[in-house]
């Protein structure tokens, strides 16, 4: 899947509400002061940071990294995986 195809798929899943925030991501969002609408905004408007993608051999799935900013300017990195829905694995930020 190309970066363009991936970002299109992510935008489609977010728009349809087909996402699941994993427990770890919920904890990180709370710790770092992020709301779900902010994370959705990063996913809708961010870019695919291809060099940070990793293959998770334990779960047999790619983890993709999307980097973007919230409306209040917090640069943020969101790690996701795609199965039949978008899994939000973790949230890193605000970045400098």
Structure tokens that stand for 50 in this block: 């291809």
What's the total number of domains in the chain?
A: 1
- DSSP H/E element including 36: helix 36-45
Distance CA 9, CA 42 (A): 14
Give me the CATH number covering residue 36: 3.30.2310.40
The candidate with the shortest Cα–Cα distance to 54, out of 77, 27, 22, 37, is: 77
34-45 confidence digits (pLDDT tens): 999 999 999 999
pLDDT, mean over the chain: 94
Residue 7 domain boundaries: 3-92
DSSP summary character for residue 57: T
* pLDDT band, residue 93 (cuts 50/70/90): confident
50-81 confidence digits (pLDDT tens): 999 999 999 899 999 999 999 899 999 999 99
């Amino acid at each position: 899947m190309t970066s363009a195809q991936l970002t299109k798929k992510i935008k489609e899943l977010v728009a349809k509400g087909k996402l699941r925030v994993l427990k770890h991501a919920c904890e990180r969002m709370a710790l770092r002061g992020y709301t779900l609408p902010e994370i959705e905004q990063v996913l809708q408007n961010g870019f695919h940071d291809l060099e940070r993608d990793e293959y998770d051999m334990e779960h047999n799935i790619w983890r993709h990294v999307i980097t973007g900013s919230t409306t209040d300017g917090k640069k943020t990195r969101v790690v996701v995986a795609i199965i039949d829905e978008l899994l939000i694995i973790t949230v890193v930020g605000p970045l400098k």
